[in-house]
Amino acid sequence: MTYKLTYFNVTALAEPIRFLLSYLNTDFEDYRFDRELWPTIKPTMPFGKVPVLEIDGKTLNQSTAITRYLAKKAGLTGSDDWEALLIDIAVDNVHDFRQALAGYFYDANEESKKLKYEPLLKETIPFYMDKFESIVAENKGYFVNGKLTWADLFFVAVLDYLNYMAGIDLLDGRPQLQALKATVVAIPQIKAWIAKRPVTP
């Protein structure tokens, strides 16, 4: 099977797919285009968005759906439907947090963007991050049931993007999440991927 991933030259929403493909030891073409090409590429994408993964020429959008599919192949979707549910909930909670950060970060109006930063920093970020820290503490170092699942890989894969939007180190003062990150980046395939991936902002 051939895999071609199309995205901007950043980690962000494509990185969970790259993590899972790496975890599976799957070779893939990691096509990264320059931003100035986006107006040309956009109309060729299924819903005008990226990342997109082509598997044997079949074009798929929606990064979370793709990551879940790859996670099934990797045995990282839990041992039953209940665990799969708890993993899906964890992933969507991280997405809610990502969208809260994006609501600030991508605000085109400089004035309203500035007004959003203090509540983001003092309310939204501690609200979500402290919950994530507690959940990982209660689940013995992982998001769900004391074992590695794709929720953990997903969180660590998007963490650089979350930090970038937040403008701070979100793991600062959160030892459980620091330990989770250390666990994930020590997985040999993930470690090898991080060592070889392009350095991006």
Residue 102 touches a copy of itself, criterion: CB under 8 A: no
Which among 12-20, 88-96, 165-173, 176-184 is the span making contact with a copy of itself, rule CB under 8 A?
88-96
Residue 59, token pair as written in the block = 């074009």
Residue 178 touches a copy of itself, criterion: CB under 8 A: no
Three-state SS string over 26-41 comes to CCCEEEEECHHHHHHH
Residue 88 touches a copy of itself, criterion: CB under 8 A: yes
Residue 177, token pair as written in the block = 């999440």
Nearest approach in angstroms of CB 118 to a copy of itself is 18
Which of 47, 56, 57, 201 is in the footprint of a copy of itself by CB under 8 A?
Answer: 47
Instruction: Using the structure block, give the residue that is written with the tokens 């590429």.
Output: 41
DSSP 51: -
Number of residues this chain uses to bind a copy of itself (CB under 8 A):
26
Query: Of 102 and 168, which CB lies nearer to a copy of itself in the complex structure?
Result: 102
Sign of CA dihedral 85, 91, 93, 95: negative
CB-CB contact of 124 with 52 (8 Å):
no
Distance separating alpha carbons of residues 64 and 134, to the nearest angstrom: 24
Query: Of 77 and 196, which CB lies nearer to a copy of itself in the complex structure?
Result: 77
Distance separating alpha carbons of residues 153 and 20, to the nearest angstrom: 8
Residue 54 touches a copy of itself, criterion: CB under 8 A: no
Sequence-ordered alpha helix ranges (H) in 63-124 = 63-74, 81-105, 110-119
First to last CA, the chain: 31
Query: Of 131 and 191, which CB lies nearer to a copy of itself in the complex structure?
Result: 131
Nearest approach in angstroms of CB 185 to a copy of itself is 26
Nearest approach in angstroms of CB 81 to a copy of itself is 5
Which of 25, 37, 127, 175 is in the footprint of a copy of itself by CB under 8 A?
Answer: 127
Residues in contact with a copy of itself by CB under 8 A are: 47-49, 60-62, 64-66, 68-69, 72-73, 81-82, 84-85, 88-89, 91-93, 96, 127-128, 131
